[in-house]
Structure 1
Amino acid sequence: MIGMPDEKPPIRIAALADQCVQCGLCLPVCPTYALDRNEAESPRGRIAIAAALARGQVSTTPALREHLDHCLGCLNCEKVCPANVQYGELLIETRAMLGPSPGRPERELALIRQPARWRRLRRIAGWTGFAHWKPLLQSLLPPDSPMRAALALWPRQPLPKQSPLPLSNPTAGETVALFPGCIASVEDAEAQQAAITLLRAAGYRVTKLPAFCCGAMDLHGGDSEHAAQAARQVRAAWEKAGADHLVSVTPGCIGTLRHALPGADVIDPVTLLASRADRLSFRPLPEHVAVHLPCTQSNVTRSDTALLKLLQRVPKLDAKALSRPPHCCGAAGTHMLEYPERAARLRDETLRQAATLAPQRLLSSNIGCRLHLAAGMGAVGQSWPHQHPLVLLAQQLET
């Protein structure tokens, strides 16, 4: 059986690859194939490369590895695959077999993984007026430097304030545990507070887990050791919570949380809110907004339709989603740090699409996507306010 625990990784990779019938239906929905029109930059091509590596038919060269590392893990291909190829699992297994990429930005990742350190750094940056001398520092770094790319993503807004959580919490009913994550626990604190407010208004009891990294960047980057450590921490926190559902406001974390907790109900809070939408009332908001749907929201949590239906419940709000596929904003975890030029090309196309909607605000559920999109707005002559859609919903909630 495919995927049994006692299977060696190369055997499992070969078995997963053999599911592919080479039909090519994945090519039109693959963002990297759209960039290069190169078979090796398509899911079908990468499956062939992974199978050859697993069977020892080819050796690992920088060129072959780069095709695998270019993959965004968007999983558009899985959604259209008639053979139900588990491409995401194949990619994770292959990268684990190869180990982390030599160009992986370890210093930057070490900082992102630790929310307390990130929060201190953000405070220090605010005290020293970092925003004013950041452009000079960027100009001193090479164009392909991960640090330069990280500086471009530095949030323009001050460090979000940690507001006290609402005291009211239903005394009975299903319990939801909120997973804060790492950088999202700092930069998306407002969205997490919004999720708690909305879930409690819908009748759920909500608790909050400690803030730490789920291991998504490591799992998808071939760093099996760090990914396994994070998975153990996730399991311990989940068992202690004793909740019915585990949620995260960051769709990019949910797939990894499900990987660590195969028996748990790990879900987008949007899905829970949509199931009790009749309990929520919203004040009118006469505004045009563009909704960027992260790949993980469309292809992993599959909560994109539920989100749009919730937004439609806000009277007078005109919320339009950016078209897809094959469009991906290019953030893709660490991809925007490792391949900033490729990521920028994808981002600029996404922003051009947003501009055709003439929005007054840009919404996106993934903090990495939102920071990446914000960093590129100047290049397309835009400066839209941007926020998590749950924040908008909480702001308009009638209490």
Structure 2
Amino acid sequence: MMGMPLEKSPTLGSARRIVELADQCVQCGLCLPVCPTYQMDRNEAESPRGRIAIAAALARGEVEPTAALRLHLDHCLGCLDCEKVCPAHVQYDELLIEARALLGPSTRRPRWLLKLLQRPAWMRALRRLGHVLAMDRWKGWLARRLPRDSTTRAALLTLPTGAVAAPMVAKTGEARAGKPTLALFPGCVASVEDADAQAAAVVLLRAAGFQVSVLPAFCCGAMDLHGGEAPAAEKAAQRVREAWQSSGASGLVSVTPGCLGSLRRALPGIHVADPFELLAARADTLRFRPLARRLAVHLACTQVNVARSESAMLALLRQVPLLDVQPLPRPPYCCGAAGSHMLEFPARAAELRDDTLQQVALLEPQVLLSSNIGCRLHLATGAEGRWPMQHPLTLLAQQLDTGHPATNTPDNQPHERSHPEPLRSPA
């Protein structure tokens, strides 16, 4: 089976682009020490340098596009730590996207599940059904009777089934003079599982002096883009462009750093920002109530290497009086979630997650924060309730001082589902 050719053969245009990108690599090997999959397997084919060589050989027609070669490309987490240390500034993310598009989607790709995740209305319906059936009580029992590398097992263990916050209603407003206007992109999974963080972002950005409108909830195409589904990714990008043009905003924000790369790709020349970047620039306008808690902060790969706003996020958290903020060390470099990777390769993803959770335990936190919803769901599966988990924006909005006396009571301690009330259109 591993020697069978894949469905799609290289095309001339995409092959030429891959060769151009691969030729930037000087084969220095500085990427190897920071690559999670190379550290896991100690196999050159599981390193950025090895994958660049594989992609170039496929593009030149020097090797057959077999499932075995494709597997090395699919194992890549897309964390982009390699780009950060590369002295030749190889555009590795672009090369990986082009190589996967050239070969087409993997046969391991759980298309039915990804289609569900990309449709917020379907996800909400599934969550309601799971809540009615009390799936949280028995899904673990069922999942653990499935093979460890089963996509269904991973989905049962990872995806929540309880009650969910109300969605933010898409709306636009007339711009008021003197205040920058932002459009918030809710996304797909995040619009359901991070509704509290999105509401928190709006509260914080408005407190900092921004006007904020909310776009409709749909998928930005990130999972398709990184899974070789080029036509579906372009269709999603076109929808992003249409929603953006209708918004009338001057900037776009997303609370999910995993969406930023796809949004920027769809909207070249538009300022697509992480809220932390904007809030940190106006940090002097924000005041926070004290909170005597010790936090571990998981720095998602996309937060560090795409948004590049981890310093801004940590600075804002440290503005909360009494808060003990402890970022996780790097390495470990990636928790293993990596978009759909945790569903396609659950055993490998669990190994990386366990390394990350060991570092969390050493910090002895009372709360674990992560800005990426995929990472948070993945980590929660392995943590099994050891720590409450939140988006950092949710905690910051909780502690925002709006003029009331500062308190530090049990009612304003962070917990997993504590969140600002999601915004709704006026009646």
Q: Same fold (TM over 0.5)?
A: yes
CA distance in 2, matches of 1:374, 1:117: 22
Measured after TM superposition, the shift of residue 329 of structure 1 is 0.3
* Partner amino acid, structure 2, of 1:117: W
**Is the contact made by 2:128 and 2:162 (CA closer than 8 Å) also made in structure 1?**
no
Give CA deviations for 1:341-396 in whole Å, capped at 9, x if unaligned: 00000000000001111100000000000000000013xxx610000000000000
CA distance in 2, matches of 1:84, 1:28: 17
Q: Helix, strand or coil: the match of 1:8?
A: helix
Matched, 1:60 2:60: no
Matches within 5 A, 1:100-111: 100-111=105-116
* Partner amino acid, structure 2, of 1:69: D
**Is the contact made by 2:131 and 2:161 (CA closer than 8 Å) also made in structure 1?**
no
**Is the contact made by 2:130 and 2:161 (CA closer than 8 Å) also made in structure 1?**
no
Alignment match, 2:31: 26
Alignment match, 2:52: 47
Distance change in 2, residues 1:71/1:320 (3 Å): same
The percent identity for this pair of structures is 64
Q: Helix, strand or coil: the match of 1:320?
A: strand
Measured after TM superposition, the shift of residue 326 of structure 1 is 4.8
Alignment match, 1:388: 391
Matched, 1:92 2:97: yes
* Partner amino acid, structure 2, of 1:44: R
Matched, 1:9 2:53: no
Q: How many residues align structurally?
A: 391
Alignment match, 2:417: none
**Is the contact made by 1:330 and 1:336 (CA closer than 8 Å) also made in structure 2?**
yes
CA distance in 1, matches of 2:396, 2:46: 38
Matched, 1:278 2:268: no
Distance change in 2, residues 1:168/1:96 (3 Å): closer
Alignment match, 2:265: 259
Give CA deviations for 1:219-276 in whole Å, capped at 9, x if unaligned: 0000011101100000000011111110100000000100111111011011000000
CA distance in 2, matches of 1:142, 1:212: 32
Alignment match, 2:5: none
Matches within 5 A, 1:1-399: 8-155=13-160, 158-162=163-167, 171-172=176-177, 173-378=179-384, 383-399=386-402
CA distance in 1, matches of 2:400, 2:268: 34
**Is the contact made by 2:127 and 2:162 (CA closer than 8 Å) also made in structure 1?**
no
CA-based RMSD = 1.9
* Partner amino acid, structure 2, of 1:47: I
CA distance in 1, matches of 2:229, 2:286: 42
Measured after TM superposition, the shift of residue 293 of structure 1 is 0.8
Give CA deviations for 1:73-113 in whole Å, capped at 9, x if unaligned: 00000001000000000000000000000110011101001
Alignment match, 1:3: none
- Structure 1: give runs of 5+ residues left out of the alignment: 1-6
CA distance in 1, matches of 2:324, 2:49: 38
CA distance in 2, matches of 1:209, 1:289: 32
CA distance in 2, matches of 1:335, 1:130: 24
Measured after TM superposition, the shift of residue 132 of structure 1 is 1.7
* Partner amino acid, structure 2, of 1:397: L
CA distance in 2, matches of 1:142, 1:373: 20
**Is the contact made by 2:51 and 2:72 (CA closer than 8 Å) also made in structure 1?**
yes
* Partner amino acid, structure 2, of 1:353: Q
CA distance in 2, matches of 1:131, 1:272: 38
* Partner amino acid, structure 2, of 1:383: R
Q: Helix, strand or coil: the match of 1:82?
A: coil
CA distance in 2, matches of 1:311, 1:269: 13
Distance change in 2, residues 1:325/1:252 (3 Å): same
Measured after TM superposition, the shift of residue 156 of structure 1 is 6.5
**Is the contact made by 1:30 and 1:326 (CA closer than 8 Å) also made in structure 2?**
no
* Partner amino acid, structure 2, of 1:245: G
Give CA deviations for 1:52-88 in whole Å, capped at 9, x if unaligned: 0000000111211110000000000000100000000
CA distance in 1, matches of 2:308, 2:138: 41
Distance change in 2, residues 1:397/1:49 (3 Å): same
Q: Helix, strand or coil: the match of 2:68?
A: helix
**Is the contact made by 2:167 and 2:191 (CA closer than 8 Å) also made in structure 1?**
no
Alignment match, 2:420: none
Between 1:284-293 and 1:7-16, the stretch displaced more is: 7-16
CA distance in 1, matches of 2:51, 2:339: 19
**Is the contact made by 2:128 and 2:161 (CA closer than 8 Å) also made in structure 1?**
no
- Structure 2: give runs of 5+ residues left out of the alignment: 1-11, 403-427
CA distance in 1, matches of 2:238, 2:135: 37
